[in-house]
Chain A
Amino acid sequence: MSADNLAVVDQSLNQHFSRALLDPELSIPTGIVGPDGKSAPKRFGVYRNNVVVSLIEALKDAYPSVFSVLGEKNFVPTARNYIAAYPPKSPMMQEFGDKFAHFLESFSPLKTSPFLVDLAKAERAWLVAYHAADDDIIDPQSLGSVPPDQVMDVTFKKHAAAWIQASQFPLFALYCRRDDDSADIDLTQSQNILISRPGTDVIVRHVGAEDCLFFEQIFAGDTLGIAIGAAMEVEEEFDAANAIGILLQSGCCSMLLQPEI
């Protein structure tokens, strides 16, 4: 047999091996045996188990609040379906699970729990913030040095770790399930969250609807004046000073940009 033919045999073996890992219905590749030379499905099963169990555990680690809400009984089959639909594409396991929220949107067994989609997005944002680049953090005093007539025209550069998320569900309470699963959650509430990482710790804040809109505008690159105006349209009593305080002190922005004159 030529080297080329051997390579073809080898290729089909490894192709079969990898397919059989994620599909327990497939027979194990030929030529895989135990010490007696006989086919060894249970031995091959160790690899199947290693792969699937390690990926389920990785998904649990990435989505501890979703896991807490669903419990082991519901999380494991959900994870198995996710793994089949979106197996990892990178050896960086922190990337694995990046489509979980998208998957949950159309996963019919959980369609009566749409809040899980928002929760999965928030947990993903937490992980992204944890690993985000060490951008600069703006000096909380920086706005004070801007000439008063230009203050409303400044814009900000969002920090790599920062994330704002509006939700019609009690997102902050749901997120907190990772640390405390005993609290009752009123699913009719609406809560929004702001995530930032001023140092190494990721901070998750509960923010009101008008604050949420303010940060959405700021992160989109709108001026301070436009962001305040947008928030006031939602709530006339919008506390701009408080929102600006969070903006300057939470570490959610890496740069203050003054208008060019």
Chain B
Amino acid sequence: MQTISASSQLSQSIFEPLPIPARAGIGLKAQHVAEILETRADIGFFEVHAENYMGAGGLPHVQLTEIRNNYALSVHGVGMSIGGENPIDKEHLARFKAVVHRYEPGLISEHLAWSTHDDVFYNDLLPVPYTSETLSRVIDHVDVVQSALGRQILIENPSTYVIFEQSTMSEVDFMGEVAKRSGCGLLFDVNNVFVSTTNHGTSPKEYIDSYPLNLVQELHLGGHAPDEDDAGRPLLIDAHDRKIDHEVWELYKQVLSKTGPLPSLIEWDNDVPEWPVLAEEARRADAILGRNLVDGAQSERKLSHVS
């Protein structure tokens, strides 16, 4: 039987570095690429999951090359298992590095989560307890990734459904320590904050007020699905399967009022709609970003879209 092999050879990138503008971006889906290119969609940037571009060749790379020729690109990993007990998978890291090298993304990000244990990949972003041991491990793993890439990465705050009794520090403090001690930046997922604080009965406003927002370089926005927990309390699922909730838009405005404009990604990964629905969500984020622009950032924003 044939196997799918990843391209591991690092040829010279054909792309010059292109920073991500402080505009709305959209998580790229293969089914939208033709329409995006044909209509020359006015989108600040696109973001892709690195794992979808680790094959050797074919249509995915042709599509992403065309996108990268016309737009700024951010690469987001979902399988590095930064929070895992096992050492970082060197093979996976080499594949990740090949994607980064090939496409020269403006930003690179991963999650505070684990997905691999022993040799099984669970295809989900699983939670970590906030202890000093996990903190040391995460810092080591971020260091391994950043050293291999020769670049800073951003780490995203998780959406969680459970609390670990053994946790000894808050998520906010944990994220701050990871960034301070590893030198990574932060990706702030506003929907994850709303999902997690609702699920754990805490205040999203207090979470945002205490977060080290000065280290945040990118925001994520997405939809969540409502459910209930064992005791009938609200339990939100980070489903990325619908429009962004009104309360998440309000939190987004709150964050921007503190940070100023930042690259803001619309994530929609399940029940993916037609392109115009996604483009409308991006327009909404752009409109909010425009209201938060300060001192000449407007002209910089216009120039930053490559057409």
Residues of A within 8 A of B (CB): 3, 6-7, 9-11, 13-15, 17-18, 21-22, 30-38, 40-44, 46-47, 50-51, 54-55, 58, 87-96, 98, 101, 121, 124-125, 127-135, 160-161, 163, 197, 200-201
Residues of B198-213 whose CB lies within 8 A of A: 199-202
- B57 near A133 (CB under 8 angstroms)? yes
Q: Nearest Cβ distance between residue A138 and chain B, in whole angstroms?
A: 17
Residue of A nearest to B79 (CB): A91
In whole angstroms, how far apart are the Cα atoms of A115 and B248 in the complex?
A: 50
Which chain B residues border A90 with CB–CB below 8 Å?
92, 121
Residues of B90-105 whose CB lies within 8 A of A: 92, 95
- For residue B294, CB closer than 8 A to chain A, the reply is no
Known contacts A42-B229, A94-B55, A200-B59, then 17 further A-B pairs from the complex at CB < 8 Å, ordered by chain A residue: A15-B117, A31-B129, A34-B162, A43-B199, A44-B162, A47-B162, A87-B122, A92-B4, A92-B55, A128-B3, A131-B55, A131-B60, A132-B58, A133-B56, A135-B57, A160-B56, A161-B58
Partner of B201, one of A32, A35, A54: A35
Q: List 29 A-B contacts (CB under 8 A).
A: A10-B131, A13-B164, A14-B117, A18-B126, A31-B166, A32-B164, A32-B165, A33-B164, A34-B230, A35-B163, A40-B162, A40-B229, A44-B161, A54-B123, A54-B124, A88-B123, A91-B51, A91-B81, A91-B121, A92-B55, A94-B4, A94-B54, A94-B55, A96-B123, A131-B55, A132-B57, A133-B7, A134-B57, A134-B61
In whole angstroms, how far apart are the Cα atoms of A3 and B135 in the complex?
A: 13
Using known A-B contacts A89-B119, A91-B79, determine if residue A130 contacts B164 with beta carbons closer than 8 Å: no
Which chain B residues border A101 with CB–CB below 8 Å?
1
Residue of A nearest to B85 (CB): A14
In whole angstroms, how far apart are the Cα atoms of A212 and B115 in the complex?
A: 43
- Encoded as 1 (CB less than 8 Å from any A CB) or 0, chain B from 4 to 30 comes to 111100000000000000000000000
Using known A-B contacts A10-B133, A51-B124, determine if residue A124 contacts B1 with beta carbons closer than 8 Å: yes
Chain A to chain B: the 8 pairs with minimum beta-carbon distance, closest first: A91-B79, A131-B55, A134-B57, A133-B56, A18-B117, A35-B201, A31-B165, A200-B59
Which chain A residues border B166 with CB–CB below 8 Å?
9-10, 13, 31
- For residue B80, CB closer than 8 A to chain A, the reply is yes
Stretch at the interface among B39-47, B144-152, B172-180, B231-239: B231-239
- A42 near B116 (CB under 8 angstroms)? no
Q: Nearest Cβ distance between residue A100 and chain B, in whole angstroms?
A: 11
Using known A-B contacts A6-B133, A34-B231, A128-B2, determine if residue A55 contacts B161 with beta carbons closer than 8 Å: no
- Interface size of B as a range: 35 or more
- B3 near A42 (CB under 8 angstroms)? no
- A98 near B1 (CB under 8 angstroms)? yes
Q: Nearest Cβ distance between residue B256 and chain A, in whole angstroms?
A: 28
Residues of B within 8 A of A (CB): 1-7, 51, 54-62, 78-81, 84-85, 89, 92, 95, 114-124, 126, 129, 131-134, 161-166, 199-202, 227, 229-231, 233, 235, 237
